[in-house]
Amino acid sequence: MPELPEVETIKNDLITRLVGQRFTKVTLLWPKLVRQPSAEDFCHELSSQTVKSIRRRGKYLLFDLANGKKLILHLKMTGCLLLQPSSTIPELHTRAILHLDNGTNLHFLDQRKFGAVWLVDNEIEVVGFLGPEPLDHRFTIWALRKALGQHKVPIKVLLCDQTAIAGIGNMYADEALFEARIHPLKKASDLSTRETERLYRAIGHVLTEAIARCGASVNTYQLPNGEPGFAHLFFQVAHRRGERCYRCNTPIKRIPLRGRGSYFCPRCQTM
């Protein structure tokens, strides 16, 4: 699933290409992609609207439109956005095409059909449940300590809880915990002051570095121009089960946790 760094990379790329452009038509190849309003109203209301700005909130992309409405997209597990010339034949898993007045189209591809789009008056309807942004200046170490103290779940579970911290998912939770030398099963409320400080620094560092590397292409993620990201080439533990830890040469382990796989080094990250 694209996480904060991937969605931030997409946002940054689309800002330079789409702000000021107007949607001329919507081609829905899978109407269930639209969660709100109806598919018919979505196509009608989005057509003729100009993109004023593009933002990210957690793993969501938000397009601010000229009429005040918000176009919101979530890529879920296998979604990606590609900018294509208007003459491009849609690929097999293309679920929607947003036609633009500059001769390009924004294709929403989604192999597993988990992605979603909304067109709403108030973004709070869709993203109001999200916790603080981990790269925002208001996300302080005190905010992290407060979140940790309120939860007795494993720290990996808390990091992936979008109501606690927005945007972190499986990959970057594993990477941050490795950098902070914290076992993924340790209870969030049991972290020491020193561990909390290390985790706070690790979250910021891991996410910032991944954005600089244009995100991680470990599945279907691509930049809007079709190029892959390369953050995964620098992963320390994520998706490296059985490979040697770069720090201590111990084989990386993978354990199941709440339906997800958690990667960690059993020597560097002890309970």
Per the CB < 8 A criterion, the answer to whether 188 and 151 are in contact is yes
Selected catalytic residue, list 22, 187, 241, 260: 260
Active site residue 90: no
Per the CB < 8 A criterion, the answer to whether 241 and 263 are in contact is yes
Per the CB < 8 A criterion, the answer to whether 7 and 60 are in contact is yes
Scanning the chain, the segments in alpha helix (DSSP H) are 4-18, 39-46, 124-127, 141-149, 155-159, 170-180, 193-212
Q: How far apart are CA 261 and CA 237, in angstroms?
A: 12
String of DSSP letters for 217-230: -SSS---TTSPPP-
What does DSSP say about strands 34-36 and 116-120: parallel, antiparallel, or unpaired? parallel
Q: How far apart are CA 212 and CA 30, in angstroms?
A: 33
SS3 1: coil
CA distances from 49 to 25, 111, 119, 193 (A): 10, 28, 12, 50
Active site residue 258: no
Active site residue 3: yes
Selected catalytic residue, list 11, 57, 59, 198: 59
Q: How far apart are CA 102 and CA 82, in angstroms?
A: 15
Selected catalytic residue, list 2, 5, 154, 224: 2
Q: What's the longest Cα–Cα distance across the chain?
A: 58
Q: How far apart are CA 79 and CA 82, in angstroms?
A: 10
Query: Cβ neighbours of residue 167 under 8 Å, at least 6 residues apart?
Result: 3, 4, 7, 56, 58, 59, 133, 134, 207
Active site residue 2: yes
Q: Which residues are catalytic?
A: 2-3, 59, 260
